[in-house]
Amino acid sequence: MRVENRAARDFYEIESVKNNWSVRELERQKSSLLYERIALSKDKKEVIRLALRGQEIKKYDDIIKDPYVLEFTGLDSSPKLYESSLEQALIDNLSKFVLELGRGFSFVARQKRITLEGDHFYIDLVFYNTILKCYVLIDLKVGKLAHQDIGQMQMYVNYYDQEMKQADDNPTVGLILCEDKKEAVVKYTLPRENRQIFASKYKLYLPTKKELLAEIKREKQMIEAYANTPAV
């Protein structure tokens, strides 16, 4: 592998063995800067562990990336892009999408209908993570994330926790994939003790290393800034 960073090279070697990646899958993960996307969200001790043990999945945050790179859909980002088109492209490329999601994900359903007092609601995609032993609900949003989207996901998560989760399952995770998000909207919509609902951006093209690193660092700085903002 032509990876100059020794820690990143060690990480990819370990992950290749753990996940039985093909050469093509390994090249795709390197090109999408998987190591950098994971490492920049960790503290120094956890980054060292990545090089020694690969990605360890012990808590919900460990299965979340930001951003997600969905270049394999072949879609162009445009105002005319519909959520149904994105959903269909992900289903058509399900094996690649599962690879992007990470270890332990199993597909359960698309457009999962839930009915509440006669009203029907549809969850875009439902997965189950066999490592954390929990359902993972994914909602797709073309455009900017709104507080209503977060509230809707909160309802889906609550429903799954109360109606679908088995006794030996862990609490449900909700992930909103959106084109654009504002950390302030996420922070002030969700309770401070939230550990189940996440919002991440997605990109429909493979950014350059410089672009992706800049994006990740900017997201990290914004999250830290809002996390340190005292509640009103």
- The reply to whether 76 falls in a domain is yes
Domain count, the chain: 2
Q: Which residues of 142-165 are buried (b: 16+ CB within 10 A; e: fewer)?
A: beebeeebbebbbebbebbbeeeb
Q: Which of 14, 36, 56 is the last residue of a domain?
A: 56
Q: Grade residue 164 by pLDDT with cuts at 50, 70 and 90.
A: very high
Give tens-digit pLDDT for 34-88. Answer: 998 888 777 788 888 898 899 889 899 899 988 899 999 999 877 778 899 999 9
154 and 210 share a domain?
Answer: yes
- The reply to whether 28 falls in a domain is yes
Looking at residue 218, what is its pLDDT?
Answer: 76
Q: What angle do CA 209, 24, 42 make, to 5 degrees?
A: 45
**Spatial CB neighbours of 161, under 8 Å, sequence gap ≥ 6:** 171, 172
Q: How far apart are CA 83 and CA 94, in angstroms?
A: 16
CB–CB of 173/126 below 8 Å?
no
Instruction: Flag whether pLDDT at 145 surpasses 60.
Output: yes
Count helices and strands in the chain by DSSP H and E runs: 9, 6
Mean per-residue pLDDT, 148-176? 95
69 and 14 share a domain?
Answer: no
110 and 180 share a domain?
Answer: yes
Q: Are strands 197-203 and 105-116 parallel, antiparallel or unpaired?
A: unpaired
62 and 15 share a domain?
Answer: no
15 and 44 share a domain?
Answer: yes
- The reply to whether 40 falls in a domain is yes
- The reply to whether 232 falls in a domain is no
- The reply to whether 10 falls in a domain is yes
158 and 189 share a domain?
Answer: yes
Instruction: Flag whether pLDDT at 120 surpasses 80.
Output: yes
- The reply to whether 46 falls in a domain is yes
- The reply to whether 15 falls in a domain is yes
Looking at residue 231, what is its pLDDT?
Answer: 54
CATH of the domain at 163: 3.40.1350.10
32 and 98 share a domain?
Answer: no
183 and 154 share a domain?
Answer: yes
Higher pLDDT, 40 or 107: 107
Mean per-residue pLDDT, 109-135? 96
180 and 192 share a domain?
Answer: yes
* 3-state SS assignment for residue 226: helix
Give tens-digit pLDDT for 188-230. Answer: 888 778 889 999 999 998 877 788 778 777 777 776 765 566 6
46 and 83 share a domain?
Answer: no
107 and 208 share a domain?
Answer: yes
Q: How far apart are CA 219 and CA 216, in angstroms?
A: 5
pTM of the model: 0.85
Percent of all residues in the chain with a pLDDT value above 90, rounded to a whole number? 57
139 and 180 share a domain?
Answer: yes
Instruction: Flag whether pLDDT at 161 surpasses 90.
Output: yes
- The reply to whether 191 falls in a domain is yes
* 3-state SS assignment for residue 169: coil
Which structural domain range is residue 196 located in?
58-227
Taking CA atoms, 133 is separated from 56, 66, 101, 110, 227, in Å, by 15, 22, 15, 19, 28
